[in-house]
Structure 1
């Protein structure tokens, strides 16, 4: 069986020098996006894996100079196993205390926090510093990034010792697989912060799709129904909302677009005429009652209120 230890050995890397991080976030949006972030927003990926708590912090503090990082990309062939894509080999200089002021000034940390809810400790006023690992890419195994796939049975211990890891190689792709396929439209949920860091396949798919869409303001759960048609379809419409260009109703006008989450109640034909899409939009407004109780109020009704 050809496994991760064999890959390391061929690169003349002693597995006893390597910790393995198996990233499998609980947040479904982050799990779906993480492979894409490796290529579209690498600084965010690095910030994400530089902070850990409890046993993971202790494991990374034991003096091993290297970290092999993997991100979950799907289910394995055997029940209960997962496919993990190689994100890179990183140098680990060891832990340091990073003060709160420095962390709160880190744009990538704050983006991960506002977009995915990562770094929950930021909500607490009590802490003054974190244990931080300044992981930086090692040039070795660069050619395997996005190509090497291992099959793993994941546990709560997501940091492992490379020499003890039973990680058979499931595939070595001819080209990088970082640009992951988007989920089916029924499962797609995208927070506003993600629209600027989408993998190219996600962007291409959203440009193709015209549909009815739903905005939920995560501040209070208020809902808005819209329709997308035209040159850039969903991608253009959603980005316009986030930029403040499509807040045409009074309900959206005074809201923070960074708190919007987008989803798709109904996909239409790519060739559906505008009037057909708009008619469907009206039926969804009625079904979800977003004119009386949501954010689709017309201007005159808002002025009367």
Structure 2
């Protein structure tokens, strides 16, 4: 059985100097950290470098792993711990936006060793997922997979449901799928339950339209602007129906109107027309 420690030894990395770190935060939805690592590396690196307890040893290294939505433990890099200080007052976490004043802040440098396995190597972490920092010498983790590149499978349009704020962080493959289609979608206010039916037509794609909402919260829509006037809103987005890219805009508008009638989103929701 090939273990992660075997790879460290093959790369002449002193196993005793390495701590294994598995990132999975119950305050974030499953897979969110992996999405951040793939699509917002600076935010992930900042998240990883700030800890509430003194977990990393200066002069040693950490082997970073991230739990995916499917709970696979994927290798994201070997880092040297160069120094540590404390976060100044008023500091906030890059992903959680929580106050991190006084937390330990490490200077981490990505090492070249094992770089060929980043986003490809999957290990068996074991049952002790609560123990998210472990000494490599005590934990010879079995290697389950070395893939060409790991990315969670797109769930399909019927099962796609995500908070709107997560759209910029979706895996690249998912973004490409959503960029390739037009269709009808549903936004649901996560606090009030109000619904908004919209469509992506013309030169837009589902992904492009959703990005407009993610950027300004309303995408220029009157009903969503009114909702935003009551304070920042959080929406869940899903796909009601996809159409062929050659479908005329007039036909897409008819399908959109059908869904508005079906869901009563004009009478009880956020659709103004």
SS, match of residue 135 in structure 1: strand
Q: Distance in 2 between matches of 1:214 and 1:41?
A: 26
Q: 1:36·1:180 contact (CA, 8 Å) conserved in 2?
A: no
Aligned to 1:51: 50
Shift of 1:4: 0.7
Deviations 1:101-160 (A, max 9, x none): 3x24xxxx44x2xxxxx25x43xxxx7422222322122222221122212224211111
Structure 1 residue 7 corresponds to structure 2 residue 10: no
- What TM-score, normalized to structure 1? 0.74
| 1:210-221 map, 5 Å | 210-218=182-190, 220-221=192-193
Change (3 A) 1:48 1:181: farther
Partner Cα distance (2:133, 2:7) in 1: 18
Deviations 1:19-53 (A, max 9, x none): 11112333664x43433433432111101212334
Q: Distance in 1 between matches of 2:191 and 2:133?
A: 34
Q: Shift of the alpha carbon at 1:276?
A: 4.2
Contact kept in structure 2, 1:61 and 1:94, CA below 8 Å? no
TM alignment of 1:16-55, pairs within 5 A: 16-26=16-26, 29=29, 31-53=30-52
Paired residue for 1:129, among 92, 102, 105? 102
Q: Is 1:292 aligned to residue 264 of structure 2?
A: no
Name which of 99, 110, 120 aligns with 2:88.
99
Residue 161 of structure 1 pairs with residue 150 of structure 2: no
> C-alpha separation between the residues in 2 aligned to 1:222 and 1:74?
28
Match of 1:278 among 236, 249, 253: 253
Q: Cα distance 1:133–1:187, how it changes in 2: closer, same or farther (>3 A)?
A: farther
SS at match of 1:20: strand
After TM superposition, the structure 1 stretch with the greater mean CA deviation from structure 2, 216-225 or 148-157, is: 216-225
TM-score, scaled to structure 2:
0.82
The match for 1:144 is: 117
Q: Determine which of 268, 287, 298 is the counterpart of 2:242.
A: 268
Q: Give the secondary structure class of the aligned counterpart of 2:177.
A: helix
Q: Structure 1 residues 276 and 164, CA, compared in 2 at 3 Å: closer, same or farther? A: farther
Distance in 1, matches of 2:33 and 2:159, equals 16
Q: Say whether residues 1:84 and 2:73 are aligned partners.
A: yes
- Residue ranges of structure 1 left out of the alignment (5+ in a row): 76-81, 113-117, 299-305
Q: Which residue of 2 aligns with 1:172?
A: 146
CA contact (8 A) 1:251 1:297 kept: no
Instruction: Give the SS at the match of 1:129.
Output: coil
Give the corresponding residue for 1:302: none
The answer for unaligned runs of 5 or more in structure 2 is none
> Over aligned residue pairs, what C-alpha RMSD do you find?
3.0
Look up the SS of the partner of 2:243 in the other structure: coil
The structural deviation recorded for 1:66 is 0.5
CA distance in 1, matches of 2:157, 2:66: 22
Change (3 A) 1:32 1:275: farther
SS at match of 1:92: strand
Looking at structure 2, the residues matched to 48 and 3 of structure 1 have their Cα atoms a distance apart, in angstroms, of 27
Structure showing the higher helix proportion among its residues = 1
Q: Is 2:189–2:236's contact at 8 Å kept on the other side of the alignment?
A: no
* Partner-residue secondary structure (3-state), 1:5: helix
